[in-house]
Amino acid sequence: MAPGGETSGGTASGGGMPGGTASGFAVRLEAATAVYGEGAAAVTALHGVTAGITRGAFTAVMGPSGSGKSTFLHLAAGLERPASGRVLLGDTDLSGLKETALTELRRERIGFVFQAYNLIPALDVSDNITLPLRFAGRSVDPAWLTEIAGAVGLGELLGRRPSELSGGQQQRVAIARALVTRPDVVFADEPTGALDTGTGAQVLRLLRGLVDSLGQTVVMVTHDPVAASYAHTVMFLADGRIVGELDAPTAESVAARMTHLGER
Ligand SMILES: Nc1ncnc2c1ncn2[C@@H]1O[C@H](COP(=O)(O)OP(=O)(O)OP(=O)(O)O)[C@@H](O)[C@H]1O
């Protein structure tokens, strides 16, 4: 068995993590199936996946190319709806929401960080970070802006434009922007994919630190065992199914499990 121990994949129960509700899960997928296309061309990307994202933890999602990682993230974040089964954000069943309510929920309760930083070039750092609040018609709490800008190490750079920042600094703006609404969950899709190793490590340490210090729930899709090793737990997908979880991962234990998945 790999160091750090294993838990049963996709059926974890309880949790007792900081800020947990009765279930301890920020997001739950219950028998969620995802299908792209129709008829003979239909591709089942997720096969009845049941999984919980532990509140207040950093969870990495790994698996071979095409295993369903992005689909998992899109379902969990309410960007796509399951063909069958349910997705719950806290106690909210996303399948029961109309499109406008789902859009509002994503805006208010979910933060996103992508490989591309997607910053607005004409806005300074401060206005980029607070953009989601303006979209939501909410006012900016200056103390909270100062706190998150400080937490991501941008306190001195709030007046700069994105073009005046390094790639790592731009990604930190995107992370602060994802945090500004105090979301239930931040979803990060390959957040270090465009960064060099050293800068990527800084961003990963930052994400882990935000979980440990703010209790922020973070879910990250990655191909990289080193990136996954910054998480508390790694969830492994293969062929659209959850095939295992690893707590307290190391780059070596994650890589060993990935090799094993590749042999399936
Ligand atoms: N829009 C789509 N239309 C048709 N098939 C799709 C679509 N999106 C994904 N798929 C298929 O669903 C399966 C899972 O894809 P998904 O993108 O979730 O995998 P992934 O693990 O994120 O892959 P990668 O690591 O290569 O990004 C794959 O077989 C893929 O080809």
Output the CA–CA distances (angstroms, integers) from residue 12 to 41, 57, 190, 197, in the order listed: 33, 14, 24, 32
Query: Domain count of the chain?
Result: 1
CA-proximal residue: ligand 1, atom 25 (nearest): 65
Cα(158) to ligand 1 centroid in Å equals 37
- In a domain, residue 1? The reply is no
- What's the number of CA atoms in the CB half-sphere (13 Å) around residue 86? 12
Within a domain: 258: yes
Q: Is residue 182 part of a domain?
A: yes
Q: Report if residue 161 sits inside a domain.
A: yes
Quick one: which atom of ligand 1 is closest to the CA of 221?
22
Residue to mutate, 29, 69, 81, ligand 1, most ligand atoms under 8 Å from C-beta: 69
Residue owning the nearest CA to atom 14 of ligand 1: 68
Low-confidence ranges of the chain (pLDDT < 50): 1-22
| pLDDT confidence of residue 23 | 67
Q: What is the pLDDT of residues 221-253, one digit of tens each?
A: 999 999 999 999 999 999 999 999 999 999 999
Which residue among 46, 49, 67, 221 has the greatest number of ligand 1 atoms within 8 angstroms of its CB, and so is best to mutate? 67
Residue 113 located in a structural domain? yes
Q: What is the CATH number of the domain that holds 226?
A: 3.40.50.300
**C-beta separation of 133 from 140 below 8 A:** yes
Residue 80 lies in a domain: yes
Q: How far is CA 248 from CA 71, 238, 251, in A?
A: 25, 20, 10
Q: What is the C-alpha to C-alpha distance for residues 210 and 217, in angstroms, rounded to an integer?
A: 9
- Residue 46 CA to ligand 1 centre (angstroms): 10
- CA distances (Å), 55 to each of 15, 16, 219, in order? 8, 9, 10
The complex's ipTM works out to: 0.97
pLDDT by residue (tens digit) across 64-84? 999 999 999 999 999 999 999
pLDDT at position 264 is: 53
What are the distances in angstroms from CA 83 to CA 73, 75, 99, 248, 254?
15, 10, 15, 33, 30
Q: Which residues line ligand 1 (CB under 6 A)?
A: 36-37, 43, 45, 63, 65-71
Q: Report CA(100)–ligand 1 centroid distance (Å).
A: 26
Ligand 1 pocket test, pick from 29, 35, 36 with the greatest ligand atom count within 8 Å of Cβ, gives 36
- Whether residue 94 is contained in a domain is answered as yes
Domain range for 189 is 6-37+45-262
For the CA of 68, the closest atom of ligand 1 is 18
CA of 140 to the centre of ligand 1 (A): 38
Q: Does 25 fall in a domain?
A: yes
